[in-house]
Amino acid sequence: MTSTAPAKTAPAKTTAEKTGAHTEEAATLIDDARSRIDTLDDRIIGLVQERMAVSAVIQEARITSGGRRISLSREMEILASYRDALGRPGTSLAMTLLELCRGRA
């Protein structure tokens, strides 16, 4: 027979412990900034989903008119734009977006 003793719960962490900050002032700043980042991430995800939907419309129109699903010259423009705006890591970000927006072949 197994024991049904209540599980021990760890005491709640302070804001400083959760953030890794050494002062409550820094912890509050970090906590607020993380909240802003979460909001921004939600917006970015929504924009990526919107971009995927618009890309699907473009691909469908291109395919129905007898063209190819992907325009490599357009993708190169996008890669260059992200690289110019964000530096080398921007290229990786653009590649990820392009992959997400290509949909299924």
Helix or strand run (H / E) with residue 59: helix 24-64
How confident is the model at residue 19, as a pLDDT?
84
pLDDT reading at 2 higher than 60: no
What is the phi/psi pair of residue 64, to 5°? -65, -25
Residues 13-17, mean pLDDT to the nearest whole number: 71
The pTM of the full predicted model, rounded to 2 decimals, is 0.77
Taking the C-alpha atoms of residue 105 and residue 98, their distance in angstroms, rounded to an integer, is 13
The DSSP-derived string for 18-47 is HHT-SSHHHHHHHHHHHHHHHHHHHHHHHH
Q: What is the pLDDT of residues 36-87, one digit of tens each?
A: 999 999 999 999 999 999 999 999 999 999 999 999 999 999 999 999 999 9
Q: Which amino acid is at 45?
A: I
Taking the C-alpha atoms of residue 95 and residue 33, their distance in angstroms, rounded to an integer, is 28
How confident is the model at residue 21, as a pLDDT?
83
